[in-house]
Amino acid sequence: MSWLALLDFGSVLIFALTGALVASRAQMDPVGFLFIACLTAMGGGTLRDVLLDRNPVFWIAQPTYIAVACGAAIVVFFTAHLLESRLRTLVWLDSFALAIAVPAGAGVALDLGAPAPIVVLMGMITGCMGGLMRDVVVGDVPVVLKQGELYVSAAFGGALALWVTSTYVATGLPALAAGAGITWILRAGSLAFGWQLPTYRSTPPKS
């Protein structure tokens, strides 16, 4: 299996765990767990494949992905009550999923010979869109948009690091590792130490 396929598996697995945790917080039935887990796990990569016109979509080509997502959902259904804090687990798992999905998306675009902006955007889309769909469908405030946290920015940084590494240093594993590492460090730094970019604060609007 290629490194890219392995990354896809990893991101499907971990995003599925986050989806199932969200389902547990919304007190769904088992099929609801499967549904949200699959949507979260495969949403970002599906959008990447549809936009890049990769046929067939990765989980249609290889239904094992679906089994992985469903397995993760079932494990969470039976074990979520053991967690000290589901929200905390969710947020940290989500950071790992993001860090794996960003290079999975950017790497695919790079392999297809896409130019730099497309590579970076595909990394961001693959990383952020699954979680965004999860939160919009369940009606939560999207993690993507939480004020004062690096999330899209972490994905942007990681995808950029991947492109820079593969262009100036080495392609393959080093570039993928750089992408994953930078994404996770930025996201984890934001969660643990409150790293953030300056947000927009206007003077109070006049109307």
Both structure tokens of 81? 């009550």
Q: How near is the Cβ of 174 to its own copies at its closest, in Å?
A: 25
Residue holding tokens 């969470």? 76
Residue holding tokens 């994953």? 180
Residue of the chain from 168, 173, 193, 205 that contacts its own copies (CB under 8 A): 205
Cα separation values, 111 from 104, 107, 206, Å: 11, 6, 50
Residue of the chain from 30, 71, 181, 189 that contacts its own copies (CB under 8 A): 30
Check residue 193 for interaction with its own copies (CB under 8 A): no
Asked if residues 130 and 41 have their Cβ atoms less than 8 Å apart, the reply is: yes
Closer to its own copies at the Cβ: 173 or 198?
A: 198
Least Cα distance to 95 among 189, 179, 187 occurs for: 187
- Give residues in contact with its own copies (CB under 8 A): 23-24, 26-35, 38, 46, 50-53, 55-57, 60, 63, 66-67, 77, 80-81, 84-88, 114-115, 117-118, 121, 124, 128, 132, 136-139, 141-142, 144-145, 147-148, 150, 152-153, 156, 196-203, 205-207
